[in-house]
Structure 1
Amino acid sequence: METAEELREALVECRRELDALRLEGRHSRMLLDAIGSLLTSTLDDDPFEVLFRALEIVFTFSRLLVLAEQEGEAGELHCIAAHPGGLRGSTWPVGRLFGKVLNGRVSTTLDNAALPEWQGDLPAGLSPAQPALYLPMRVRERRGMLVLLREEGGPGFDRGDVALARNFSLLASAAFAALYTRQRELESRRLRQLTERLQRSEKALAHRAYFDQLTGLPNRQTIEERVQEAIAGLPEGESLALAFIDIDDFKKVNDFHNHSVGDALLIAVAERIRRAVRGRDVLGRISGDEFVLMLVAPGDRQQTAVIVDRIVEQLRQPFRVEGRELFTSASIGVSTYPEHGSDYEALRRNADLAMYRAKKFAKGSACFFDTWLGDATSARMQLEQDLRVAVRERRFRCAFQPKLALATGAVAGFEALVRWQDNAGSMRAPGAFLPVATEMGLLNEISEIVLEEIQDSLEALDRRFGGGTRISVNVAASQVSDAIFMDRLIGRIIDSGRRERFVLEITEEAVVQPEPFVTSILPILRREGIGLSIDDFGTGYSSFSVLADITADELKVDRSYITAIQDRPRSQGILRAVDSLGAALGMAVVAEGVETAEELDYLQRHTGIGFVQGYHFCRPMLLPDLVAAELPEVAVPAAARRMAT
């Protein structure tokens, strides 16, 4: 699927295109207003005065000159009209810039001091430092130009001004023609034709700005406006429903076939939904494979469900697209006004939540919004916000749980377990936040914070328990497959100078795929003397087969096999098999989750398992509590003591 960041960039680009279309539409309307001013003028009106009023609607300027060639006077232009009028009558030489403008090019300048046209004595009120916009005029063999000037030091004319100027060149030429030939009717006809073209263009622009170009449906903004209008006009006591429709696995269609097939499928989906709803309902497309349907006066929930189920069933039927038979489905979420929101955004958001609930339950199904979905979403958003702050402020602590040797009762090592110290000072267990942190992409940062605290804790642990203990660090499956993260993690362990003290705990799931762990990362661990433990052994879908390619130091038997082991013959058999496997492969076996004396007694009497870990001995503790605690002793049977001796 596309990432959240890619989706946000696509939405920004769509918004930029929409704004450009609207700006172009506004320009067309302004030009139509200016044309209207010329068309309604009389023969007695000065055409340039009418043009000046039209220009004031669109442009910002302080001076305006109309320069034109005179018969028999090549290379010189005369000012035949101006605003203010005192500039009229001045003459101007034709240099390189004026020559280009006379030949039909719209031009702009910020500083005219280097132009020969602006040398010598200038009329009062004019300065070469004034930004200028030059519009060509032409009627048959007569040429001229319109010059718009802004105040000295003011902003120049931009590309939008140049684009508008190209349209106003025709208006300026019309005024030019009216002044010299009085062919007003001909020019009016041309202007009316231009007006008609602009009106058609404006309609096309409006359609592009407010409707989806692929399906012809209302787009995101238009459907929002329609819903808001419908809400505002609802009679007292009536309701409407909003359905959020998402095509399941649409990306696979584009990937497996091509985008042309995907577009054709979207068109077919839109048409099929339209046929399944009532004429007064409004369907819109708001993104690639997402549609929003407004059900006007849907009746009660049962009646709404009938319509929604009909859409679900219609979209399950195969589509015939470009000679291919395609099977798809849609997941739909529904919210209702006013029960689930008072405006479009609230209704859309809640319908979206219900859609994801439907997709999680079963693709191709429908779900109505319920308030607990909103509560869960609010809680999730708050958790995400708090987690981001916690990472930034490094609020994660390391709790250590001892691992004891059954033969001697001594502490052989520790498993480092992360805790989140929230604003209230409470310690949150990993299960309360790590799944969300993983989805948010924060797990690597949290792991690095934990590793740093482990390194800072080694001296205190050595003083209390001796220097032979090893520290196990949990690495998630997603991290094991991340070569960049693993390279950074291993590098920090090596840089600590105590690489032999560290053991990486990974699950079977993490090493099912040989790349990059088996071929790239495992050899480094072996070479550098960093330990490797297979955690939760026996619960993964690979189980024993995973050990064929993995050289590990220890197997940690999952607690599900240890709980009440003394009363579960089948688990006892599995435990004996794991014990034998560990002995055959030269791997230590650790029983984790030992919580009762009965479980410990069984392990001591009936297995050769060498190490145990669990609440029966010690809960995970922060470093200050751990070094100050008196850990319970493990009673070592006489046989075990003799073996150890």
Structure 2
Amino acid sequence: MRATKRDIIFAAPFAIFALGVIGYGVYGLIGFPPSSLTLVITVIAGVIISGSFQLPVGKIPGLPHVGVAISMLAIQPAEESPVLGVCIWAIGLLISQVFLRRRLFYGLYVTGLSSASAFAFVGTQLSLVNFGVWLPLSFLAATTVYYALILLGELARQWGRTEVERGFGLSAFSPKRIGIIILVVTTAATLMNYVDSSVINWLEHDPEANLTPFVVLLAALVFYALSQRMRYDRNERRLNAIVEAAIELPRETGSGLATALQCRAQSILQANFVELRDREPGPGEIGVAVNINPDTTQYLVASRKIGGAPFARDDERALASLAHMASEAARIQVEVDTLERRANTDPLTGLPNYGAFQEALTEANENRPYHEGIALLFIDLDEFKKLNDSFGHLAGDELLRAVAERLQSAAGGGDIVSRVGGDEFVVILTGLVSLEQAKESADKIVEAVSQPLRVEGHDMRPVVSAGLAFSSHRELDAQTLVADADRTMLQVKRSRGPGGSVEGSVVSISTHRSTRTNDIVARAIRENRLSLAFQPIVSVDQGKIWAFEALVRYVDPELGPISAPSLVARAKSLGLMNELTRQVITKALDAAEEFYLLEPSINCMTVNLELGQISDSELGPYVREAAREHPNISLCIELNERSLRSVTEDLRNDAKRLQDAGLLIALDDYGSDDSSVGALVHFPMDVLKIDKSLIDNLGDVRQREVLKALQGFGDNLGYTIVVEGIESPAMVDVMVDLGVRSAQGYYYGRPVSLARTLERLRRSGPAASIDVLADHARLP
């Protein structure tokens, strides 16, 4: 416990009073021994035994814990002198408090305060009995007075301090807990008195027998058993908290680990103060050595204010366990960091190695802002093998280290330099706006590397071949940059030598195909060149088309068809996804109007959107307005079910606003490997589309039962269930048997152009079944 000078000054009078009470008790026992020394010894023992039963009067650390030993005075050890009885009781209390608090001064303080309150307890109880008050009520009033004085003493000790210093005020006490403590003591005192005066007298057949000490000892043992039960519960809670700490602490590092350790220790020990410091614990504190920082030993020290519950040995063991876990977590983290550093660092130059370069390239590509360029400079030292053969490996190593230092100095802080081979280096250039800027930076780096230097007593000028690959947009595969830069660098090397056209250090620029592809996609979107294909969604039981799904397509004259996933991925990386989606929605709704004119029963069009696009900050308002402009068409927004793992409450509200505006919400691809049941119950929807992976083996009874259950789920909640991937009449038969009523798949038609879809409707109307082979033969 942490004692301030103020605490000592306040506690001193109580300690002196306790010495006086104890002294008078010893004097009385020697000079005027009570009639039953056995009862005296039993009361002292009972106070010591029940002293461990301490109860909190509030829920925050620093509040005093009060004991129930006052109940031992229900039977006076010296009937002829109640004052001596309190003094005898105080002897036992001092012994128990010194044992619990392990400091004589604090034991004397508590004994003095408790003794003064005990005199009030005895005086109140005896006075009320003499006035004819019912015995239980006299004990209730006396117990209330006793604990009121104890708590007033604690409040007086804290009076005048700031809230931070004292840690609690009157509002921190729990009236409910205080009331329970008073009732417990009142009940115990009443039962002891009743058993001693009535039951024991009835059981005593021997006039010489005195079983009163037995009553005191029995009550004390009951309290001791309760205290052990409370200790068991506390230890169980502490153990659970330590297990949680064992999970949390290894996840923290550095200052976070220190903070987590202190918070956990303060919570588990219910301490007022927990700190990491260089000094060992002082008197009244508990502490243990801990090593959070390498080669530095600190102490994790916990303390409580005077008057608070003392620390037990279990607290010391818990603190030691936490310190050990934190030390081990820090040690393992240091070892992991060391191993990671070794694994990702070239030992000769200290630069990141090939593995670290790969991670850095991916990071630079994925996390750059839209339209911010990056470039890869691939550098090779020419005739490095000849240098090694002529001057030795030490000279070669010195040259590599010199080149590494020059690269780091020339590249600057924002760019990443790595050694990826024996004499090969790469530099990732970031924050670029143009190829010209990338070329300018690359030329400066190569020029700095090519300056003369002295190696092992020999003057030389390094000559390098360098290939530069520039990317103006995020790449789907950043490794294409490496391949292009490497290929360009090799072309420079091959052009050297006799008859070659290249001399000195040269940077050659790669014609990066991926950049051309990005430019082509960007131009296609900006110039509105995208087209759509339409696949029917049919009613199985009615055999009719009731909707179409619109799918984006683009065929470039130079590259040929660009797949829909690649088209979407590149649109995302270019920051043009919203523009692409607007075009798809516009063209899809215009096509739907044409389908409606031919077949009014087909009035639904589904379009795929990214989850985030439904928000009001992106396409929400546009989608609602587009739907209002086409009142004859039901626009259905398909959201990939897997994306709903990141759904927020705002996005749920956005989806609800779309529904309120008359749009339908479909969850697409449900049933894939990482699908979640949560999406079915937490997100607004009207249509559930079952992924084809869930029907890849309809001979499996489990797949059939799942389909049947999902159809029943849709029927009960009014959702439309659409099974995708239907490719044969046999699969249609199974769907009919399972009660599935809507389906989509190649059996009913592949995605085809607007012209081909209109031709089908003119020829076959809304009929679901078509001549599949003939339809395939007519595909463009």
Q: TM-score normalised to the size of structure 2?
A: 0.36
**Which structure is higher in helix share?**
2
**Which structure is higher in strand share?**
1
Larger Rg: 2
